[in-house]
Chain A
Amino acid sequence: MREIEAALITEAVKKITMEAGVRLEPDILEGLVSARDSETSGLAKNILELLLVNADIAAREKIPVCQDTGVAVVFIELGQDVHINGDLGEAVQQGIQAGYQEGYLRKSVCDPITRVNTGTNTPAVIHIELVPGEQIRIIVLPKGCGSENMSGLTMLPPSSGISGMKDFVVRQVVNAGPNPCPPLLIGVGMGGTFEKAALLAKKALIRPLGKHHSRPDVAALEEEILTRINEQGQGVQGLGGNNTALAVHIDLFPSHIASLPVAVNIQCHAHRHKEIVL
């Protein structure tokens, strides 16, 4: 049994929250560079270059990459042989609050009825999973809601099959048009139940950009859907070109024999995510 002080978790969450807001991870920067290099539209190529300049300014001057610094989604993989001295949930919320305050990140969380801002960007949405071992892995995903709002979930009849699933994903992205700030990352959750599909789609976003699913048939689907999306020609910012999406990440879970849930979680190019292992 390993003991970890809750204060250590607060400090770690604060640190990665502040970094995530201003610094794109190498996988996203590489994705934007390769999109720029493969782009056929002159305007889109210029905009992709501008987005790389934006990332550079953000990191150097600690200005958020995007003013929508998101609702904080926190994934925690908690080793079952860890004992936390203190309240884990509270420790994470305090880390988020401090990170947004000290990092000059925008507080965007409000009451869903009164729309009054909580003023702290808390509560964060926390997902905790118990895993073997005595480490804690924490991932902070500040999720912008221009893209989140374009996400969707459907409960397909199994007779729709793979082709129904592909059509739903492509339609969801096409209907979103320029709203979610393409080029996009598309997280797809397939199977499980209503809530499981949504969570799979969200979690698929934190896979390194463009890293395919380990199952070859799923990897082929990711590639096929990406190609279909990019053939639509909406392009960067909806202004045309061949880079509407940078990648499609699909995750699976077995479903009921009556059911085929499909969730599509849309993420913008300002895909901020940061991980720490304690």
Chain B
Amino acid sequence: MSLPNPPAMMDQLQEVKIPFAAGVVESLQAGDLISLTGTLFTGRDQTHRRMMALLDEGADLPVDLAGQLLYYVGPSPARPGQVIGAAGPTTSYRMDVYTPRLLDLGLMATMGKGSRSQTVREAMVRHKAIYLAAFGGAGALLSKCIVEAEVVAFADAGPEALFKFSVQRFPAVVINDVHGRDYYEMVKSGKDAPR
């Protein structure tokens, strides 16, 4: 069977630098296809539980998340010579219960896959934060967009450690924008422009 070349779409994404420059988050619209270049932090279930425990104790988080993008991922281990293993998004709703508290601390964007709760959506509007979806089940391809990976905290949690990634042209879709729009809802109700 012949396999296709990388989709042309990858060259047509709007380039966005992270952390975001002033005004960029506000300019992004639900449904925008973007590619991210810069640095981000990662975390999933256990990472969040540990961050919440630190906050409960009145301690600081291991990194300052203000203005940052937090990517929900638990990568597979890197083979020798690789930066990281597969590193696609995990399902975001499991983090919903923790997200408003991180938005309160200035977190500017989250990225995963799947819908967010009403509470998270309202918190995003309040804080002018956005939510992005990465392509689920494309972990091998997405690993190619990660040029550096470093464990920053919770190393013993393995795939649930808090990593810092340097990414280059990492593709994503804007799901929730600062205006409160939700692209999944727009698709469901037929309100998205045909693509």
Interface residues, chain A, CB within 8 Å of chain B? 22, 26, 29-30, 33, 36, 41-43, 46-47, 49-58, 61-69, 104-108, 115, 117, 119, 146, 149, 177-181, 233-235, 237-240, 268-270
Interface size on B, as a range, is 35 or more
For this complex, 10 residue pairs linking A to B, each with C-beta atoms less than 8 Å apart, are A47-B9, A56-B3, A63-B76, A67-B87, A106-B85, A119-B158, A237-B113, A237-B136, A238-B114, A240-B195
Alpha-carbon distance A205/B72, docked complex (angstroms): 27
Q: Which of B144-195 contact A (CB under 8 A)?
A: 144, 157-160, 171, 173, 183-184, 187-188, 190, 192, 194-195
A51 near B137: Cβ-Cβ < 8 Å: yes
Bound-state Cα–Cα, A55 to B87, Å: 14
Minimum CB–CB distance for B138 against chain A, Å: 4
A64 engages B140 (CB within 8 Å):
yes
- In the complex, which residue of chain A has the Cβ closest to the Cβ of B1? A29
- Complex interface: chain A residues within 8 A of B10 (CB): 50
CB distance from A76 to the nearest CB of B (A): 26
Does B68 touch A at the CB level, under 8 Å? no
Q: Is the CB–CB distance between B144 and A57 below 8 Å?
A: yes
Most A CB within 10 A of own CB, among B8, B113, B137, B173: B137
Contact in complex: A106, B75 (CB < 8 Å):
yes
Q: Which residues of B contact A179 (CB under 8 A)?
A: 91, 93, 113-115
Query: With A43-B195, A106-B74 in contact, do A58 and B159 touch (Cβ < 8 Å)?
Result: no
Whether B63 is near chain A, meaning CB under 8 Å from some CB there, is: no
Cross-chain pair count, CB within 8 angstroms? 173
Contact A49 B4 (CB under 8 A): yes
Min CB distance, B26 to chain A, in Å? 23
Closest chain-B Cβ to A180's Cβ sits at a distance in Å of 8
- 8 tightest A-B CB contacts, nearest first: A179-B114, A181-B136, A58-B140, A67-B86, A46-B9, A106-B76, A54-B141, A64-B86
Q: With A52-B4, A233-B190, A239-B183 in contact, do A64 and B85 touch (Cβ < 8 Å)?
A: yes
Extra inter-chain contacts (5) besides given A58-B86, A181-B137, A239-B183, CB under 8 Å:
A51-B138, A52-B4, A63-B85, A106-B74, A115-B45
- Which residues of the other chain, A, contact B79 by a CB distance below 8 angstroms? 62-63, 104
A62 to B190, CA, bound (A): 39
Shortest B106–chain A CB gap in Å is 27
Flag if B91 contacts A53 (CB, 8 Å). no
> B73 in the interface, Cβ–Cβ < 8 Å?
yes
B54 at the interface (CB under 8 A from A): no
Pick the contact of A41: B4, B137, B195 (CB < 8 A): B195
Residues of B within 8 A of A (CB): 1, 3-10, 33, 45-46, 49, 73-79, 82, 85-88, 90-91, 93, 113-115, 133, 135-144, 157-160, 171, 173, 183-184, 187-188, 190, 192, 194-195
Q: Report the minimum CB–CB distance from B44 to chain A (whole Å).
A: 10
Are A63 and B7 neighbours in the complex by a CB distance under 8 Å? no
Minimum CB distance partner of A33 in chain B: B1
Contact A233 B187 (CB under 8 A): yes
Q: Which residue of A lies closest to B46 (CB)?
A: A115
Residue of B nearest to A110 (CB): B46
A177–B77 CB distance below 8 A: no
The answer for the CA separation of A169 and B194 in the assembled complex, in Å, is 28
> Which A residues are in CB contact (< 8 Å) with B9?
43, 46-47, 49-50
Residues of A within 8 A of B6 (CB): 50, 53
Chain B contacts for A237, CB-based, 8 A = 113, 133, 135-136, 173
Q: B residues within 8 A CB of A61?
A: 140
Chain B residues with CB below 8 A from A69, complex form = 76, 86
Instruction: State whether A234 and B188 are in contact (beta carbons under 8 Å apart), knowing that A30-B1, A63-B82 are contacts in the complex.
Output: yes
Cβ contacts under 8 Å, B8 to chain A: 46
Q: Which residues of A contact B78 (CB under 8 A)?
A: 104
Q: When chains A and B are docked, how far (Å) is the Cα of A43 from the Cα of B77?
A: 31
Q: Are B3 and A50 within 8 A (Cβ)?
A: no
| Chain A residues whose CB sits within 8 angstroms of the CB of B49 once the complex forms | 115
Assess whether B139 is in contact with A64, with CB atoms less than 8 Å apart. Answer: yes
